[in-house]
Amino acid sequence: MQTVNYEGLEAKLYDLIWENEYDDEAFYSWLLSEKEGKTLEVACGTGRILVPLCQQGWDIEGLDASQTMLNLCVQNAKSSGLNPILHHQKMEEMSLPEKYNTIFLPGFSFQLLTLRKEADQALTNFRNHLNKNGQLIISTFVPWSSLQSDESENTWRLRKNTIRSEDNAQILCHEAVATARQEQLLTIWNRYEVLSPEGKLLETELRRMYVRWYFKNEFLLLLEKAGFKNIETFGDFSSEPAGEEHSLITYRATL
């Protein structure tokens, strides 16, 4: 199993598929305000979080494994009058000349590291790229809906149905999920389709990704093992401490 690398139609449609999925920009701005100064967003993608935070005046660099996503980030940044520093690297192979006051991963991208040795190495890399008293912020999810559902798996469902403004094309994303409970792994298939206003299929693409999930106490131990301390948790992109029942958990830890 390899880390997913957003390319092709999946990358091109990323902003349309994920826009308004999570109302988390203000949440990360709040967390970043605790440690002003140079910041790195790992797995920055197309700049969904990076660009608006840079517009607010934050000194943020970006890193991503996909050059296609970084190219889209450059386009989005330029349209906002920005030119952020971007790095084309995998988080588990990260080696940068700078250190940062904050490193953050907002989009559950850490969970694309399906091998535990890769996850350990990525956390070590984050630790080595933080200044003294720097903070690491990682958001994760636990697929409680899949774990508690009686519905059959591998069933396609419509995830997104929207219209692309520039050409009125209809954008569809269908998703199917398989849950390996013992291994704590999800297999997610996404089928992307672009239809003309007349309903003709213009483009389609099928993608598969693997996602590892962590329960709260398990991830706390993972952070402690990597040398982090003073670990806080937040549930559902709020200031509320996360409980085991939360699906969306954000961890903030310092050195």
The pLDDT tens digits of the residues spanning 126-170 come to 999 999 999 999 999 999 988 887 666 789 999 999 999 999 999
Nearest C-alpha neighbor of 88 from the set 106, 63, 123, 122: 63
pLDDT of amino acid 87: 98
pTM for this model (two decimals): 0.94
pLDDT of amino acid 4: 61
Given a contact cutoff of 8 angstroms between Cβ atoms, the answer to whether 53 and 28 are in contact is yes
pLDDT of amino acid 150: 65
**CA 243/CA 34 separation, integer angstroms:** 23
pLDDT of amino acid 34: 87
Q: Going edge to edge, which strands form the sheet with 185-195?
A: 157-164, 169-180, 185-195, 201-212
**CA 177/CA 156 separation, integer angstroms:** 8
Q: What tens digit of pLDDT does each residue of 27-44 get?
A: 999 999 989 899 999 999
Residue 115: CB atoms within 10 Å: 14
Nearest C-alpha neighbor of 44 from the set 3, 87, 78: 87
**CA 141/CA 123 separation, integer angstroms:** 17
**CA 73/CA 84 separation, integer angstroms:** 9
Strand 229-235 and strand 130-141: pairing? unpaired
**CA 254/CA 103 separation, integer angstroms:** 10
Q: What's 179-216 look like in SS3?
A: EECCCCEEEEEEEEEEECCCCCEEEEEEEEEEEECCCH
DSSP 71-116: HHHHHHHHHTT----EEE--GGG---S--EEEEEE-SSGGGG--SH
CATH architecture for residues 144-211: Single Sheet (2.20)
Q: Evaluate the CA torsion angle 138, 126, 217, 212 in order and state its sign.
A: positive
Strand 60-64 and strand 39-42: pairing? parallel
Residues comprising the chain, all counted: 255
| CATH code at 8-142+214-254 | 3.40.50.150
pLDDT of amino acid 152: 66
Q: Evaluate the CA torsion angle 200, 196, 198, 190 in order and state its sign.
A: positive
pLDDT of amino acid 240: 96
Residue spans of the domains in the chain: they are 8-142+214-254, 144-211
pLDDT of amino acid 153: 77
Residues with pLDDT less than 70, the chain: 1-4, 150-152
pLDDT of amino acid 55: 96
**CA 197/CA 169 separation, integer angstroms:** 5
